[in-house]
């Protein structure tokens, strides 16, 4: 069985969630038996991380065609044929939705793509116009471009059936994994170093993720400002870690007079994330839409109480092991935070079940299930 993996999602630095997903699975998949793996990479500058990831013995089809030419040629002129670029393998796996030419009507190579999120069609106003256009073009008539689909949650699968008209039998739900480092207890020395590095307050609620509209960080800020106004916040602050895509929030914090209680960290080093969770009093994630939701499981693995939305995929991941809020309701989050501040140990009974739930999501399990799916497709069992 010959399988090619598209590595273009690793071309953006720092890696997004999709980049981590791709890298984590390639590490696991390449050691599984009975497969001749090859990889596709296209960027003008060399990416040494790709070379380290796949190893010296792997077959790499590396091209240096600027994507501003490569993408429209594939999509609008149906050239070059992707299969021909990677020597016509049995299967091609695209770890993320991307531009590719139409599949051949009688082509032998089967294409599989992972769909991480459908929010770009459900709430396009959350995205800049360029991203909206890009997503609309990407999502048009998916079955003309791909044969089989991986959904990262049951919620995402149902959205795909509804929005893309993909037959249910062509979709398999395969949950991503959580890195082992989140399950390891940080030493007191590490916690102190991270607190010093980022000038963290003694007591803080944490948000970690891209700061963008659908993550609903504005609701957290409004809730804290309300508690501050009522003198109910005490020593607590909110620490917001992640790439700031919606910079209007910084001005909004100043407008609400909450600057002393809100700390923006920006991008946080990957190795510091476990300690950030472990030093926090609770993790707040009132996202309006999640295809999966890595941060809630990372927090659960770190034995940090999780306060999150009761919508989309998050209840599917956390079950009864989180404190849920209505992400559209300011009072819902404010009341929850008030209760937490007054009774910080009230949710302790959730920590071990949440940790055990997070333990169910491993990259080795994800890779094995993905490998089984590839094998079923190759042997015409689905």
Q: Hey, how many other C-beta atoms are within 10 angstroms of the C-beta on 127?
A: 18
- DSSP secondary structure, 129-147, as one string: HHHHHHHHHHHTTGGGT-S
- Nearest by Cα to 108 from 83, 145, 131: 83
pLDDT, residue 46, reads 66
Confidence of residue 356 (pLDDT cuts 50, 70, 90): very high
Question: Both 145 and 213 in a single domain?
Answer: no
Q: Which two tokens stand for residue 61?
A: 């089809």
Asked if residue 223 lies in contact with residue 337, where contact means CB atoms within 8 angstroms, the answer is yes
367 pLDDT higher than 90: yes
379 pLDDT higher than 90: yes
Say which CATH number the domain at 10 has: 3.40.50.2000
Top-confidence residue, 62 or 373: 373
31 pLDDT higher than 80: yes
Buried/exposed code over 198-222 (b: 16+ C-beta within 10 A; e: otherwise): bebeeebbbbbbebbbbbbbbbbbb
Question: Both 231 and 351 in a single domain?
Answer: yes
Question: Both 31 and 172 in a single domain?
Answer: yes
What is the rounded distance in angstroms from the CA atom of residue 56 to the CA atom of residue 53?
Answer: 9
Q: How many domains does the chain have?
A: 2
> What are the residues whose beta carbons fall under 8 Å from the beta carbon of 302, sequence distance 6 or more?
182, 183, 274, 277, 278
pLDDT, residue 182, reads 98
The tens digit of pLDDT for each residue in 179-224 reads 999 999 999 999 999 999 999 999 999 999 999 999 999 999 999 9
Worst-scoring range by mean pLDDT, 65-69, 309-313, 364-368? 65-69
Worst-scoring range by mean pLDDT, 37-46, 253-262, 278-287? 37-46
pLDDT, residue 247, reads 85
Worst-scoring range by mean pLDDT, 86-90, 138-142, 286-290, 306-310? 138-142
Q: Which two tokens stand for residue 203?
A: 């007591």
Worst-scoring range by mean pLDDT, 126-140, 181-195, 286-300? 126-140
- Nearest by Cα to 282 from 294, 265, 300: 300
Question: Both 7 and 151 in a single domain?
Answer: yes
The tens digit of pLDDT for each residue in 35-46 reads 999 999 988 676
Question: Both 19 and 40 in a single domain?
Answer: yes
Asked if residue 118 lies in contact with residue 152, where contact means CB atoms within 8 angstroms, the answer is no
Question: Both 7 and 149 in a single domain?
Answer: yes
Question: Both 83 and 121 in a single domain?
Answer: yes
Top-confidence residue, 336 or 101: 336
Question: Both 173 and 37 in a single domain?
Answer: yes
Question: Both 255 and 333 in a single domain?
Answer: yes
- DSSP secondary structure, 241-276, as one string: ES-BS-THHHHHHHHTT-GGGEEEEES--GGGHHHH
Q: Can you tell me the mean pLDDT for 362-371?
A: 98
Question: Both 173 and 191 in a single domain?
Answer: no
Question: Both 186 and 102 in a single domain?
Answer: no
The tens digit of pLDDT for each residue in 13-29 reads 777 789 999 999 999 99
pLDDT, residue 106, reads 66
Whether the bond into 368 is cis, omega within 30 of 0: no
Compute CA 16 distance to the chain's CA centroid, rounded to the nearest angstrom: 7
What is the rounded distance in angstroms from the CA atom of residue 163 to the CA atom of residue 112?
Answer: 18
What is the average pLDDT value for the chain, to the nearest integer?
92
Q: How far is CA 216 from CA 72, 83, 137, 302, 349, in A?
A: 33, 41, 26, 23, 27
Q: Can you tell me the mean pLDDT for 219-236?
A: 94
Confidence of residue 299 (pLDDT cuts 50, 70, 90): very high
Question: Both 138 and 237 in a single domain?
Answer: no
Domain that holds residue 171: 2-177+362-378
Top-confidence residue, 139 or 73: 73
Q: How far is CA 87 from CA 31, 81, 92, 176, in A?
A: 21, 10, 11, 29
Q: Which two tokens stand for residue 153?
A: 């949650």
Asked if residue 126 lies in contact with residue 101, where contact means CB atoms within 8 angstroms, the answer is no
105 pLDDT higher than 80: no
The residue count of the chain comes to 382
Confidence of residue 78 (pLDDT cuts 50, 70, 90): confident
What is the rounded distance in angstroms from the CA atom of residue 156 to the CA atom of residue 173?
Answer: 9
Confidence of residue 155 (pLDDT cuts 50, 70, 90): very high
- DSSP secondary structure, 265-322, as one string: EES--GGGHHHHHHHSSEEEE--S--SS-HHHHHHHHTT--EEEESSTTHHHHHTTSS
Helix, strand, coil shares of the chain, percent, nearest 5, are 45, 15, 35
Worst-scoring range by mean pLDDT, 1-10, 33-42, 54-63, 198-207? 54-63
pLDDT, residue 159, reads 95
Confidence of residue 264 (pLDDT cuts 50, 70, 90): very high
Q: What does the angle CA 39 – CA 42 – CA 47 come to, to the nearest 5 degrees? A: 85
Worst-scoring range by mean pLDDT, 43-52, 75-84, 165-174, 272-281? 43-52
Q: Can you tell me the mean pLDDT for 248-255?
A: 91
Buried/exposed code over 159-170 (b: 16+ C-beta within 10 A; e: otherwise): bbbeebebeeeb
Confidence of residue 76 (pLDDT cuts 50, 70, 90): confident
């Amino acid at each position: 069985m010959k399988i090619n993996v598209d590595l273009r999602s690793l071309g953006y630095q720092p890696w997004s969630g999709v980049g981590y997903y791709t890298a984590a699975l390639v590490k696991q998949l390449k050691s599984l038996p009975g497969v001749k793996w090859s990889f596709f990479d296209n960027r003008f500058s060399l990416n040494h991380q790709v070379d380290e990831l796949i190893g010296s013995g792997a077959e790499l089809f590396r091209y240096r065609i600027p994507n501003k030419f490569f993408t429209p040629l594939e999509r609008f002129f149906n050239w070059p044929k992707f299969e021909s670029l990677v020597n016509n393998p049995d299967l091609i796996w695209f770890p993320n939705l991307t531009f590719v030419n139409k599949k051949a009507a009688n082509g032998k190579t089967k294409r599989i793509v992972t769909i991480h999120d459908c929010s770009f069609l459900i709430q396009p106003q959350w995205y800049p116009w360029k991203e909206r256009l890009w997503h609309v073009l990407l999502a048009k008539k998916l079955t003309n471009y791909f044969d089989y689909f991986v959904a990262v949650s049951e919620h995402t699968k149902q959205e795909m059936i509804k929005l893309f008209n993909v037959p249910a039998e062509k979709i398999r739900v395969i949950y991503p994994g959580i890195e082992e480092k989140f399950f390891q207890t940080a030493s007191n020395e590490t916690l102190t170093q991270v607190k010093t590095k980022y000038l963290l307050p003694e007591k803080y609620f944490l948000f970690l993720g891209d700061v963008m509209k659908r993550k609903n960080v504005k609701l957290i800020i409004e809730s804290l400002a309300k508690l501050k106004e009522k003198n109910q916040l005490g020593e607590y602050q909110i620490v917001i870690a992640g790439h700031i895509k919606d910079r209007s929030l910084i001005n909004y914090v100043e407008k609400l007079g909450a600057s002393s209680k809100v700390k923006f960290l920006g991008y946080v080093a990957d190795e510091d994330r476990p300690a950030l969770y472990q030093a926090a009093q609770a993790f707040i994630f009132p996202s309006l839409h999640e295809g999966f939701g890595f941060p809630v499981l990372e927090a659960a693995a770190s034995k940090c109480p999780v306060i999150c939305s009761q919508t989309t995929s998050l209840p599917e991941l956390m079950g009864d092991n989180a404190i849920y809020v209505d992400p559209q309701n300011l009072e819902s989050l404010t009341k929850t935070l008030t209760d937490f501040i007054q009774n910080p140990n009230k949710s302790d009974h959730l920590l071990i079940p949440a940790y055990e739930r997070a333990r169910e999501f491993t990259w080795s399990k994800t890779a094995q299930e993905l490998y089984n799916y590839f094998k079923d497709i190759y042997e015409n069992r689905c």
